[in-house]
């Protein structure tokens, strides 16, 4: 890189090195590899890795090495500066600098906040006992695996995607796992009670026990966790307790610098914060009151922001329904849009109890507004597109629910989108 | 070597037998091929005079209806399997007790044109000669009774003058009330061929409906229902006024002409008068009159449209009058010709198996006849008077006057007029005995004693067809289970009643010889029916009997084609009698809010379907009960094609699909007579028929029933494809048979929760696959027992009929993979059944099989797969699996 070029380059600083940051640099390079002088500061020691794949690593279906997408050397090879294991402690918006916990100060012309999130806290006592932990990072996986060498009993708190994946990961490693969930059924943000019950049945076959409609009141033990007491009084023995009850945006750094936002750092449709020199993406951000936990909208954050910064093109980010997938071997879940049936919905359900298959479509005004598939998610994406494009589907019912293959006339998402536009 | 031996033994196992079809009155010869004790093929017998090698679709399917799952194999007493002795001891004692207390007129037999002559003979002998009542009637009453009496009145005996050949050799063929194309298909084919060979031959059809028979008609006269006698009275007047009478014939061979002509002229003195009553244009009528008048060779074929009427006898005589007045009788190509419905209606008439006949063409009107028969039989208790005819017989059952009835080989709960009344009457009768081959006919369900009878291919004996041709219906298979021949059952029963003499037969030929000997008594020239030349045939000759037309006498040992050729009739004066006919219209004209229901056959079913209904092939032509209705009526009643319609009368309902058909006259509908409670919920057309009968012969007026009509109040429609034979609990259902199970079309009036409804029909099923809709617009379900598919149910709100694919039929009973289980509810195979395989890329729903194909096609990296299929390009979590698949496939190449 010559000086001339260096002097024209803008200094782009990305705080955080999770999946959003990793994708962000890819998107920027793809548009214009020389536009920015990029610095990435991450508090984890690794390069950017695919956090979604932590579950397969835990269950032994993938290795830690295979999920690291950008090893530390990659940044230098691509002309970037990468500060690993470093934490930013302060943003000086007036000076356009940040202060790091290693004493370094880094300048920026534009700052991207990609600080992600952390596990939400639960109201249980004694969460500081050894063995009470989150399931969020490669380090967490290492810890669980290390404890797992000797651990006999584990509890997982939280019956969402992450909790189920953690429970499954430990169960396949031979640990006796009980999952404690506050709601009456699993994946209660994605499934209805019927499909949740099917999921419970399938997970039970994989060796996971459940305590539903229960919370942990306290962890018990002397330095190391030995048991957990639940609402209702039951006490379960445990050598590991993994808390996976959701996430809290890491927005404090931004708030302390005066950026606006309620739960996350507030951004507009182009991912700009209340300071035009600062953008925010991923799980630390908040858009129209929504925060984020799944990967698809975050990829949209990255493309929208890259278009604006690298090409000066305005691509509005829109909050769209997102399909949920559960990464537990042999369990297929697909959920998007509404998932609980109300009086406002027309509900069409296909159920094959013997084969653990459940497929529900929720309709309003003859259009799909919710999809809950369990056990067989074929054509899920197709339904998702029909939903996104507001295609009228009632003519194709009820065949449609069996899949496109059985319909003589298949509703086309793309075609009707044009019609809608016209 | 071993394979050669196997072939040889297989060939030895295959045998052919000459027999006769068991369906209609045409009486076709059949060559049946037997292998391993089963009929494996049938074909028309080339040298049989009825069919010369042809067979209709019903006859061609005889081998497919051999293995009814509902075959009755053991005697049953009050629903329990019992021994023959138990069943018949009970019945015989009950008969004796009832006779002892109430007299012989408190018992009755109800027989069938399906019985063989030998069966009929024993029934007649037992009840008239030994039990001592003439309460024996037959379903021929519903079919032939009018023609029988018309023949007797005109000719002195019940004898059809002509033969099938006359239908081919005539110059003018008039078919009256005959849809031969459906009811007598082989005879019809002979007519078609004759007309092709001689296009100058004229065919005229008189029928309120434009039936398929009209396809070959030069003239169709769509006359008002029941107006036939006006037409033929008009013809007689026309013949007289246009000088077309055969005065010689009238003077030499007939009597009563003047009186007959006078009434004819009074009622139908002009073509205009006929045109008005018949509701047909005068020139059309005059054309037919002229054809009749100007041609020597004229045949008038008449069938149920004439017979099934409250004035059927008169109609028959009105026709015969015209032939007598012109001498068009007893000559080649010139005859009135009554064509019978059943295979052995004629045989039953020969032995006198009707309440108003005695035996061998003798009657109760002559004491000499009664005594002659009594002596011949050495009867211990000879009946002295006529018994009750069918309709009156069931009325007497209802009134408790008849306390024991034995029904053989027929299904009156379906076929009788006012059939619901018949059902109720039987349900309260002290003793109902039913001899049947099929265990669960509507009538069998009313039986106290149910007796397993042999059927076609097992029974051995003779039948007589419409042209007086006696043929052997051969028994070549052993009776299944404990089934016995009808004559044998009756003979055992007779002995158990205490009649030790007179019922000790061991071979059918003994009965036949006795029957032939009776026909010879004090004959010739006394009675038309004379088969004296056969009174001494050996058992072997009998077993190899070739078709032969009676009379069979010393003078005519090879049988007789035509009767009355010499002008000799069997009346006291030896002259044919004109009958003065005052034509009458049907008893009850329709009210303003009614239509006239006509009933009849469809092409591929026989009677009440207990045999033909089991063949998927035969049912596939017309799967559901229906009505034909004129477009104007459909419009007036707001009925759409295929919609369900409800006809009602006498508290009974007929449900069927609307077929809009210009072949119907306005104000008239046609309903097929075949459907019954085994095949449909509420489609027994005969239940709507008024029990009006001909005052002379007792034949009911099946062809003219004023009924109310309205669209069925369908709220939901659906179908069941299932292995289970059930009676679904909904307002309308119709059953169809498939090779594996059944298909039902359903329609409900009451709104039901489909899921609950279905599970009530199938309490035994626990493995359900279901598609529900909160708006109840759609419902689909499939049920499995031990992984095998037992039922598929589809329901839709509204009147539109969901289409069930034939593909579903074949899935029944099978264990199905996951993809096929989807297809079951979709109702079709899908697009070639392509399976994408287990989903590998969840984000883009890319299946394993699709990915493998792409790898084989050249995608050697996860990136290349992503570019082709998009898999792995979103969350990336499937990339390890993509790589693993690539390695796996490249390793295997």
* pLDDT for res B810: 83
* pLDDT for res A1: 41
Bigger pLDDT: B619 or B180? Answer: B180
* pLDDT for res B618: 66
For A320-330, what is the mean pLDDT?
74
Give the integer Cα–Cα distance in Å for B23 and B256.
39
Residue B574's nearest CA partner among B249, B155, B161 is B155
Closest chain A C-alpha to B337 CA, distance in angstroms: 55
The answer to whether the CB atoms of A378 and B839 lie below 8 A apart is yes
Contact B349, B468 (CB under 8 A): no
For the domain spanning A3-118+248-311, the CATH number is 3.50.50.60
* pLDDT for res A214: 96
Which residues in chain A are contacts of B848 at CB distance < 8 A?
A: none
Closest chain A C-alpha to B36 CA, distance in angstroms: 43
Residue B787: pLDDT over 70: yes
CB distance from B774 to chain A under 8 Å?
yes
* pLDDT for res B99: 96
Spell out a b/e string for B476-506, using b for 16 or more CB atoms within 10 Å of the CB, else e.
bbebbeebbbbbbbbbbbbbbbebeebbebe
CA distances from A372 to A362, A363, A365 (A): 8, 12, 18
Q: What angle separates helix B312-325 from helix B257-268, to the nearest 10 degrees?
A: 110
Q: Taking CA A95 as the corner, what is the angle to CA A93 and CA A96, rounded to the nearest 5 degrees?
A: 60
Chain B interface, mutation test: which of A57, A324, A325, A365, most B Cβ atoms within 10 Å?
Answer: A325
The answer to whether the CB atoms of B774 and A402 lie below 8 A apart is no
Q: Which residue does chain A place closest to B846, by CA atoms?
A: A378
Q: Which residue does chain B place closest to A326, by CA atoms?
A: B842
Instruction: Dump pLDDT digits (tens) for B563-574.
Output: 999 999 999 999
CB distance from B880 to chain A under 8 Å?
yes
Which H helix or E strand runs over B759? helix B754-761
Q: Residue B471 forms beta bridges with which residues?
A: B463
Same fold, B2-65 and B594-711: no
Closest chain A C-alpha to B593 CA, distance in angstroms: 39
pLDDT band at residue B525 using 50, 70 and 90 as cut-offs: confident
Closest chain A C-alpha to B583 CA, distance in angstroms: 59
Instruction: Dump pLDDT digits (tens) for A221-234.
Output: 999 999 999 999 99
Which residues in chain A are contacts of B818 at CB distance < 8 A?
A: 355, 357, 376
User: Range with the lowest mean pLDDT among A296-310, B58-72, B701-715, B746-760?
Assistant: B58-72
Contact A126, A228 (CB under 8 A): no
Closest chain A C-alpha to B644 CA, distance in angstroms: 24
Contact B790, B762 (CB under 8 A): yes
Instruction: Dump pLDDT digits (tens) for B378-422.
Output: 999 999 999 998 889 999 999 999 999 999 988 888 777 777 888
Closest chain B C-alpha to A359 CA, distance in angstroms: 9
Give the integer Cα–Cα distance in Å for B642 and B799.
9
Give the integer Cα–Cα distance in Å for B266 and B261.
8
**Nearest-10 Cα torsion for B309, B314, B318, B319:** 50
* pLDDT for res B5: 41
Structure tokens at B774: 């909160």
> Domain B839-892: which topology?
Arc Repressor Mutant, subunit A (1.10.10)
Which residues in chain B are contacts of A348 at CB distance < 8 A?
A: 771-774, 778
The answer to whether the CB atoms of B823 and A406 lie below 8 A apart is yes
| Chain A / chain B CB contacts < 8 angstroms | 112
The answer to whether the CB atoms of B826 and A347 lie below 8 A apart is no
Beta-sheet pairing, B788-797 with B778-785: antiparallel
User: Range with the lowest mean pLDDT among A52-66, B707-721, B724-738?
Assistant: A52-66
Which residue of B771, B833, B874 is in closest CB contact with A296?
B874
Chain B interface, mutation test: which of A162, A294, A405, most B Cβ atoms within 10 Å?
Answer: A405
pLDDT band at residue A380 using 50, 70 and 90 as cut-offs: confident
Domain ranges of chain B: 2-65, 76-134+366-465+469-508, 145-338, 594-711, 716-826, 839-892
For the domain spanning B145-338, the CATH number is 3.40.228.10
The separation between the first and the last C-alpha atoms of chain A, rounded to the nearest angstrom, is 49
For the domain spanning B2-65, the CATH number is 3.30.200.210
Q: Please give the distance of CA B884 from its chain centroid, rounded to a whole number.
A: 68
User: Range with the lowest mean pLDDT among B62-66, B774-778, B792-796?
Assistant: B62-66
Domain ranges of chain A: 3-118+248-311, 132-245, 332-421
Bigger pLDDT: B884 or B550? Answer: B550
For the domain spanning B76-134+366-465+469-508, the CATH number is 3.40.50.740
Which residues in chain A are contacts of B777 at CB distance < 8 A?
A: 397
The answer to whether the CB atoms of B769 and A50 lie below 8 A apart is no
Average pLDDT, chain A: 89
* pLDDT for res B875: 67
Bigger pLDDT: B56 or B726? Answer: B726
Residue B1: pLDDT over 60: no
Closest chain B C-alpha to A347 CA, distance in angstroms: 5
Beta-sheet pairing, B716-722 with B788-797: antiparallel
Contact B404, B92 (CB under 8 A): no
The answer to whether the CB atoms of B767 and A50 lie below 8 A apart is no
Which residues in chain B are contacts of A345 at CB distance < 8 A?
A: 774
The answer to whether the CB atoms of B826 and A376 lie below 8 A apart is no
Residue B877: pLDDT over 70: no
Residue A415: pLDDT over 50: no
Phi and psi (nearest 5°) for B769? -120, 130
The answer to whether the CB atoms of A398 and B778 lie below 8 A apart is yes
pLDDT band at residue A418 using 50, 70 and 90 as cut-offs: very low
Chain A interface, mutation test: which of B758, B774, B775, most A Cβ atoms within 10 Å?
Answer: B774
For the domain spanning A132-245, the CATH number is 3.50.50.60
Closest chain B C-alpha to A286 CA, distance in angstroms: 21
User: Range with the lowest mean pLDDT among A408-422, B275-289, B292-306?
Assistant: A408-422
Give the integer Cα–Cα distance in Å for B630 and B636.
10
Q: Which residue does chain A place closest to B883, by CA atoms?
A: A66
Give the integer Cα–Cα distance in Å for B457 and B440.
21
pLDDT band at residue B619 using 50, 70 and 90 as cut-offs: low
The answer to whether the CB atoms of B845 and A381 lie below 8 A apart is yes
Give the integer Cα–Cα distance in Å for B71 and A414.
59
Instruction: Dump pLDDT digits (tens) for A169-185.
Output: 899 888 999 999 999 99
Which residues in chain B are contacts of A323 at CB distance < 8 A?
A: 843
Give the integer Cα–Cα distance in Å for A34 and A108.
16
Give the integer Cα–Cα distance in Å for A302 and A322.
16
Which residue of A346, A350, A376 is in closest CB contact with B825?
A350
Which residue of A350, A381, A399 is in closest CB contact with B844?
A381
For B679-706, what is the mean pLDDT?
85
Residues in CB range of B251: below 8 A, 6 or more apart: none
* pLDDT for res A395: 86
Number of Cβ atoms within 10 Å of the Cβ of B810: 13
Q: Please give the distance of CA A185 from its chain centroid, rounded to a whole number.
A: 20
Which residue of A295, A348, A403 is in closest CB contact with B822?
A403
Instruction: Dump pLDDT digits (tens) for B240-290.
Output: 999 999 999 999 999 999 999 999 999 999 999 999 999 999 999 999 999
What DSSP string describes B96-154?
HHHHHHH-GGGEEEEE-TTS-HHHHHHHHIIIIIII----EEEGGGGTTHHHHHHHHHH
| Backbone region of residue A261 per phi and psi (left: phi > 0; alpha: psi in -120 to 50; beta: other values) | left
CB distance from B235 to chain A under 8 Å?
no
The answer to whether the CB atoms of B823 and A402 lie below 8 A apart is yes
Give the integer Cα–Cα distance in Å for B113 and B485.
15
Give the integer Cα–Cα distance in Å for B120 and B114.
10
Contact B311, B317 (CB under 8 A): no
What three-state secondary structure class fits B833?
Answer: coil
The answer to whether the CB atoms of A348 and B774 lie below 8 A apart is yes
Q: What percent of chain A shows pLDDT beyond 90? A: 64
Same fold, A132-245 and A332-421: no
CB distance from B843 to chain A under 8 Å?
yes
The answer to whether the CB atoms of B876 and A399 lie below 8 A apart is no
Bigger pLDDT: B13 or B517? Answer: B517
* pLDDT for res B6: 41
CATH class of B594-711: mainly beta
Residue A339: pLDDT over 70: yes
pLDDT band at residue A416 using 50, 70 and 90 as cut-offs: very low
The answer to whether the CB atoms of A399 and B772 lie below 8 A apart is no
Instruction: Dump pLDDT digits (tens) for A28-82.
Output: 999 998 899 999 999 988 777 888 788 888 888 888 877 888 888 899 999 999 9
Chain B interface, mutation test: which of A402, A404, A410, most B Cβ atoms within 10 Å?
Answer: A402
CB distance from B845 to chain A under 8 Å?
yes
The separation between the first and the last C-alpha atoms of chain B, rounded to the nearest angstrom, is 46
The answer to whether the CB atoms of B774 and A341 lie below 8 A apart is yes
Structure tokens at B253: 């061979």
User: Is domain A332-421 classified as CATH 3.30.390.30?
Assistant: yes
* pLDDT for res A348: 96
Sheet containing strand A240-243, strands side by side: A132-134, A240-243, A153-157, A176-181, A208-212
- Alpha helices (runs of H) in A9-67, residue ranges in sequence order: 19-31, 54-59, 64-67
User: Range with the lowest mean pLDDT among A379-383, B696-700, B872-876?
Assistant: B872-876
Which residues in chain B are contacts of A347 at CB distance < 8 A?
A: 772-774
For B475-485, what is the mean pLDDT?
93
* pLDDT for res A347: 96
Q: Which residue does chain B place closest to A294, by CA atoms?
A: B875
Average pLDDT, chain B: 89
């Amino acid at each position: 890189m010559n000086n001339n070029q260096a002097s024209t380059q803008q200094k782009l600083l990305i705080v955080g090195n999770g999946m959003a940051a990793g994708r962000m640099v890819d998107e920027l390079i793809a548009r214009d590899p020389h536009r920015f002088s990029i610095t990435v500061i991450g508090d984890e020691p690794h390069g950017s890795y695919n956090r979604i794949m932590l579950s397969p690593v835990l269950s032994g279906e993938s290795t830690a090495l295979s999920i690291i997408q950008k090893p530390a050397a990659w940044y230098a090879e691509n002309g970037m500066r990468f500060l690993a294991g470093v934490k930013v402690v302060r943003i000086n918006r007036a000076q356009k600098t940040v202060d790091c916990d290693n004493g370094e100060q880094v300048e920026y012309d534009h700052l991207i906040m990609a600080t992600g999130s952390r596990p939400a806290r639960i109201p249980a006592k004694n969460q500081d006992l050894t063995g009470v932990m989150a399931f969020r990072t490669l380090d967490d996986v290492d810890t669980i695996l290390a404890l797992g060498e000797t651990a006999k009993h584990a509890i997982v708190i939280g019956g969402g995607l992450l909790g189920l994946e953690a429970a499954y990961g430990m169960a396949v490693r031979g640990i006796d796992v009980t999952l404690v969930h506050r709601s009456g059924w699993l994946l209660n943000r994605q499934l209805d009670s019927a499909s949740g019950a099917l999921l419970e049945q399938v997970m039970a076959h994989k060796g996971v026990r459940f305590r539903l409609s229960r919370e942990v009141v306290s962890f018990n033990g002397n330095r190391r966790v030995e048991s957990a007491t639940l609402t209702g009084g039951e006490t379960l023995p445990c050598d590991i307790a993994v808390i996976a009850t959701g996430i809290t945006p890491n927005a404090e750094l931004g708030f302390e610098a005066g950026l606006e936002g309620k739960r996350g750092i507030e951004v507009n449709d182009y991912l700009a914060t209340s300071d035009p020199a600062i953008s925010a993406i991923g799980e630390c951000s908040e858009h129209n009151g929504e925060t984020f936990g799944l990967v698809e909208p975050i990829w949209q954050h990255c493309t929208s922001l890259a278009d604006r910064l690298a090409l000066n093109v305005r691509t509005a980010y829109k909050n769209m329904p997102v399909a949920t997938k559960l990464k537990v071997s042999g369990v297929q879940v697909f959920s998007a849009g509404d998932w609980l049936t109300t009086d406002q919905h027309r509900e069409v359900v296909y159920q094959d109890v013997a084969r653990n298959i459940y497929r529900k479509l929720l309709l309003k005004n003859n259009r799909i507004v919710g999809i809950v598939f369990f056990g067989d998610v074929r054509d899920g994406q197709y339904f998702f597109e029909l939903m996104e494009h507001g295609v009228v589907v009632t003519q194709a019912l009820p065949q449609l629910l069996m899949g496109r293959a059985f319909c003589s006339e298949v509703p086309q998402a793309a075609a009707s989108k044009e019609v809608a536009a016209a | 070597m071993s394979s050669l031996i196997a072939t040889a033994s297989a060939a030895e196992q295959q045998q052919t037998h000459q027999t006769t079809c068991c369906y209609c009155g045409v009486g076709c010869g059949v060559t049946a091929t037997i292998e391993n004790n089963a009929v494996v093929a049938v074909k028309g017998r080339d040298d049989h005079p009825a069919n010369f090698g042809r067979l209709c679709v019903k006859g061609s399917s005889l081998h497919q209806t051999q293995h009814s799952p509902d075959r009755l194999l053991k005697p049953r007493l009050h629903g329990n399997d019992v021994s023959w002795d138990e069943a018949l001891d009970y019945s015989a004692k009950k008969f004796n007790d009832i006779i002892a207390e109430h007299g012989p007129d408190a018992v009755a037999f109800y027989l069938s044109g399906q019985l063989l002559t030998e069966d009929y003979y024993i029934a007649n002998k037992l009840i008239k000669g030994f039990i001592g009542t003439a309460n024996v009637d037959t379903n021929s009453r519903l079919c032939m009774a009018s023609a029988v009496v018309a023949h007797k009145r005109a000719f002195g005996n019940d004898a059809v003058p002509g033969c099938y050949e006359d239908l081919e050799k005539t110059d003018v063929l008039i078919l009256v009330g005959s849809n031969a194309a459906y009811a007598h298909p082989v005879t019809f084919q002979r007519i078609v061929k004759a007309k092709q060979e001689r296009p100058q031959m004229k065919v005229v059809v008189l029928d309120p409906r434009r039936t398929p028979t009209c396809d070959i008609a030069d003239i169709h006269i769509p006359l008002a229902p029941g107006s036939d006698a006006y037409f033929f009275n008009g013809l007689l007047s026309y013949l007289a006024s246009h000088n077309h009478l055969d005065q010689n014939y009238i003077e030499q061979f007939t009597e009563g002409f003047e009186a007959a002509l006078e009434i004819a002229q009074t009622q139908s003195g002009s073509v205009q008068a006929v045109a008005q009553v018949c509701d047909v244009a005068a020139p059309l009528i005059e054309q037919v009159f002229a054809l009749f008048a100007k041609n020597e060779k004229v045949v008038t074929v008449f069938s149920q449209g004439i017979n099934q009427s409250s004035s059927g006898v008169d109609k028959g005589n009105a026709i015969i009058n015209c032939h007598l007045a012109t001498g068009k009788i007893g000559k080649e190509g010139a005859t009135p010709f009554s064509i019978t419905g059943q295979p052995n209606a004629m045989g039953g008439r020969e032995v006198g198996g009707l309440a108003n006949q005695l035996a061998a063409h003798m009657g109760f009107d002559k004491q000499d006849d009664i005594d002659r028969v009594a002596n011949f039989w050495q009867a211990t208790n000879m009946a002295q008077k006529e018994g009750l005819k069918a309709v009156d017989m069931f009325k007497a059952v209802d009134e408790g006057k008849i306390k024991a009835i034995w029904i053989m080989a027929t299904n009156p709960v379906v076929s009788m007029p006012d059939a619901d009344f018949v059902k109720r009457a039987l349900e309260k009768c002290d003793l109902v005995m039913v001899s049947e081959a099929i265990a669960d006919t509507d009538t069998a369900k009313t039986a106290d004693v149910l007796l397993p009878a042999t059927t076609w291919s097992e029974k051995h004996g003779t039948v007589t067809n419409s042209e007086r041709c006696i043929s052997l219906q051969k028994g070549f298979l052993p009776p299944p289970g404990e089934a016995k021949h009808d004559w044998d059952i009756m003979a055992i029963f007779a002995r158990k009643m205490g009649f030790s003499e007179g019922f000790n037969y061991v071979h059918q030929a003994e009965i036949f010889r006795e029957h032939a000997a009776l026909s010879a008594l004090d004959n010739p020239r006394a009675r038309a029916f004379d088969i004296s030349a056969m009174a001494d045939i050996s058992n072997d000759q009998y077993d190899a009997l070739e078709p032969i037309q009676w009379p069979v006498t010393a003078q005519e040992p090879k049988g007789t084609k035509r009767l009355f050729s010499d002008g000799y009739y069997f009346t006291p004066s030896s002259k044919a009698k004109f009958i003065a006919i005052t034509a009458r219209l049907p008893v009850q004209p329709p009210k303003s809010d009614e239509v006239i229901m006509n009933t009849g056959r469809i092409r591929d079913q026989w009677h009440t379907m207990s045999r033909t209904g089991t063949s998927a092939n035969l049912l596939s032509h017309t799967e559901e009960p229906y009505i034909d209705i004129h477009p104007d009526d459909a419009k007036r009643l707001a009925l759409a094609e295929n919609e369900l319609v409800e006809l009602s009368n006498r508290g009974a309902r007929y449900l069927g699909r609307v077929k809009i058909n210009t072949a119907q006259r306005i104000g008239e509908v046609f309903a097929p007579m075949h459907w019954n409670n085994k095949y449909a919920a509420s489609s027994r057309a005969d239940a709507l028929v008024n029990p009006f009968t001909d005052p002379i012969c007792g034949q009911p007026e099946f062809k003219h029933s004023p009924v109310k009509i309205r669209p069925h109040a369908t709220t939901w429609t659906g179908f069941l494809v299932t292995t289970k034979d059930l009676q679904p609990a909904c307002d309308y259902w119709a059953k169809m048979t498939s090779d594996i199970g059944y298909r039902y079309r359903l329609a409900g009036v009451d709104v039901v929760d489909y899921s609950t409804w279905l599970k009530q029909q199938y309490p035994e099923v626990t493995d359900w696959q279901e598609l529900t809709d909160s708006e109840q617009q759609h419902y689909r379900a499939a049920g499995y027992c031990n992984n095998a598919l037992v039922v598929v149910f589809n329901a839709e709100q509204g009147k539109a009929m969901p289409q069930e694919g034939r593909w579903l039929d074949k899935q029944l009973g099978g264990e199905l993979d996951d993809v096929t289980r989807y297809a079951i509810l979709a109702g079709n195979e899908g697009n070639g059944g392509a399976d994408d395989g287990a989903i590998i890329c969840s984000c883009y729903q890319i299946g394993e099989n699709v990915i493998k194909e792409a790898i084989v096609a050249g995608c050697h990296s996860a990136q290349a797969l992503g570019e082709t299929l998009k898999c792995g390009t979103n969350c990336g979590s499937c990339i390890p699996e993509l790589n693993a698949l690539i390695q796996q496939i490249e390793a295997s190449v």
